[in-house]
Amino acid sequence: MSAFKMEHKNPEGLFSSPAFSQAITVSGKAKTIYIGGQNAINSTGELVGVGDLELQTKQALNNIATILASENASFANLVKLNIYLVSGSDPRIGYKAFQEVAGLLVNPPLVTVLFVSEFARPFCLLEIDGIAVIEDKD
């Protein structure tokens, strides 16, 4: 199989945003990392930032960073993020928190943001799941 390659694409005729890519292709020998829904639960099982979307977003992203690091990956390896926010939340707060935790990515992932009425865990304001890819060296 050919060398690993991940290409971020923003075809002409579509909006080009610093916050997300329109399409990403992955070819070659790749390992896919599926990230289960992460919320603001810390390593001791406590909810961080009750009532504070910024703190909860940062904790969820720190959880994602931990998962990525466990596979020798980073936010640059993200292909897709699904972000679920409690209705009435301001997604701009989450975007600001993302920039603070992940930095401004030259090639941002695909992003879908959905509003939901509530989560199974009381007082959670968001949940984020995702997909990342790295070169499979095995």
Q: Identify the domain containing residue 130 by its residue range.
A: 5-135
User: Where residue 50 sits, what CATH number does that domain have?
Assistant: 3.30.1330.40
Tell me the pTM. Answer: 0.92
Cβ 98 vs Cβ 57: under 8 Å: yes
Residues 6+ apart with CB under 8 A from 76: 105, 107
Task: Record the tokens describing residue 36, joined without a space.
Answer: 């289960």
Length of the chain: 138
Q: Tens digit of pLDDT per residue, the chain (138 long)?
A: 568 999 999 999 999 988 899 999 999 999 999 999 999 999 999 999 999 999 999 999 999 999 999 999 999 999 999 999 999 999 999 999 999 999 989 999 999 999 999 999 999 999 999 999 999 987
Q: How many domains does the chain have?
A: 1
Cβ 1 vs Cβ 29: under 8 Å: yes
